[in-house]
Amino acid sequence: MHFSLVFRNAFFQFISRVSTTLVGLITTLLIARHFGASGFGDFTKVTVYIGFFYLLVDFGLNAIYLKKRKKVFAELFYTRLIFSLIAFVLAILISIFLPYSESSEIGFSDFLKVGIFVFGFSIFNQGLLLSSSAIFQKRFTYQNLFISQIVGSFINLLLVIFLISNNFSLIYIFLSFVVSGFVSGLISLFLTGEKFIPKSFNIDRNLIIRSAPLGLMLIFNLLYFRADMLILSYFKTSAEVGIYGLTYRFFDFLLAIPLFLSNALYPIMLRDIKNPRKTYRIFKNYSFVFISFSLVLIAIFWFSSPLFNLIKSDFTSAIHPFRVLLLSLPLFFITSLMQWFLISFEMQKRLMFIYLFSAVLNIVLNLIFIPKEGYMAAAYITLISEFLVMISFFAILLRKNFFRMGV
């Protein structure tokens, strides 16, 4: 029963991700090939910067919403809309002060700040998708998410092909992502079948308060996971950012797999959380699945990594950091599973402090080593940081006597 429910939803998430990512990778390759390492570096700077603010929109609201007995979609929708507006304003205001050196062309130029403003509207699209996902997750209907995302991805691909063929600048590329994302968000909202125009516009304050530890954890998680890209943008040229950025595009796809499985598994965790033996059995079975899957992926992508050469000669150097990141894949798989078990045990605060410590350590190490070693340092630090996170999660579960539940 567990496996069929989890894998059915994980399957639709995976198919959605594979389909949208394949289309997205084609789009990415077109952008990388057309603009080169330096231009793709500029593209990466903007998308990574705005990506930080996606987490403010997420803020762990869905996980807490699913725990509520009385689930009012309109309250979730408008709470997230407020978060989206705050995130957008913060993103634009902070971007004004981002540094840039004209002599070395390192940092965020005025051109990129315009790109940040344009691409910043995708924050609202992210809010639409996240709110809709809560309904799909509750009902185990991830096929609806697949429909909305695949339509948006194809629209974006067609727009990018047109823009590149006519030599439009990166600003228009960012605009195409915003337009296609908005279409995707509207479709997903329609497919929920939920009423989102309430009788009164109430913000669920209790939802915000309960989500705060998880939301902060997600923000700290992203800081430790992606701070390397912003630090790289500050110390290195756009070409180096582009090389590492393309590496991460492929690695992000792989990291989405454990996220899908964990998301599909989370409602099952909540249902069986009061049955220790069942809970431990779920963890044991899925740990084996997650780790085995990650090892298979390492083997496949390790030997196929030389294909970076086919994109453009600018990206030959992407092979080495990609292989280092691949070695961390089993760690990311198992921590993804552990994280959601800890959330189901109401341990968001502990997770928050773990990711805060990891974020600080990651930033300090990147500030020390990136100026000299560049993106290779960033890749190795990602591996080390995730290992420490896994050890921390394991220690918490050990103290809770979690591994004795199956006895």
Listed range (27-31, 150-154, 221-225, 243-247) with the worst mean pLDDT: 221-225
For the ranges 115-124, 138-147, 195-204, the maximum mean pLDDT occurs at 115-124
Compare 188 and 383 and report the one with higher pLDDT: 383
Number of H helices, E strands in the chain: 15, 2
Residue 407 has what pLDDT? 44
Largest CA distance in the chain: 66
Q: With 70 as the cut, is the pLDDT of residue 105 above it?
A: yes
**Dist CA 126 CA 4 (whole Å):** 29
Q: Is 169 helix (H, G, I), strand (E, B) or coil?
A: coil
Q: Count structural domains, the chain.
A: 1
φ, ψ of residue 194 to 5 degrees: the values are -90, 150
**Cα–Cα distance measured from residue 370 to residue 326, given in angstroms and rounded to the nearest whole number:** 19
Q: What percentage of the chain's residues is helix, strand, coil (to nearest 5)? A: 85, 0, 15
pLDDT at 71 exceeding the cut of 50 = yes
Q: What is the pLDDT of residue 2?
A: 52
**pLDDT at residue number 11:** 64
Averaged over 65-70, what is the pLDDT?
62
Identify the pLDDT of residue 35: 92
pLDDT value, residue 136: 73
Nearest to 185 by CA among 234, 128, 252, 113: 128
Nearest to 53 by CA among 246, 250, 170, 222: 222
How does pLDDT run across 172-229, given as a tens digit for each residue?
Answer: 999 999 999 999 988 888 887 766 665 555 666 666 666 666 667 667 766 766 788 8
Q: Is the pLDDT of residue 145 over 50?
A: yes
Percent of residues, the chain, with pLDDT higher than 70 = 79
Q: What does 74-114 look like in DSSP terms, one character per residue?
A: HHHHHHHHHHHHHHHHHHHHHHTT--EETTTTEE--HHHHH
Range in 132-146, 178-192, 237-251, 325-339 with the lowest mean pLDDT: 132-146
Q: What is the pLDDT of residues 334-370, one digit of tens each?
A: 998 888 778 777 777 788 788 888 888 989 999 999 9
Span 26-58, pLDDT tens digits: 898 899 999 988 899 999 999 989 988 887 887
pLDDT(387) > 90: yes
Query: Taking all residues of the chain, what is their mean pLDDT, rounded to a whole number?
Result: 82
What's the mean pLDDT in 107-132? 91
Q: What pLDDT is stored for residue 13 in this prediction? A: 62
Partners of 100 in the β-ladder: 107
pLDDT at 138 over 80: no
> Domain range for residue 350?
2-404
Question: According to the model, what pLDDT value does residue 8 have?
Answer: 61
pTM: 0.76
pLDDT in the model for residue 20 = 77
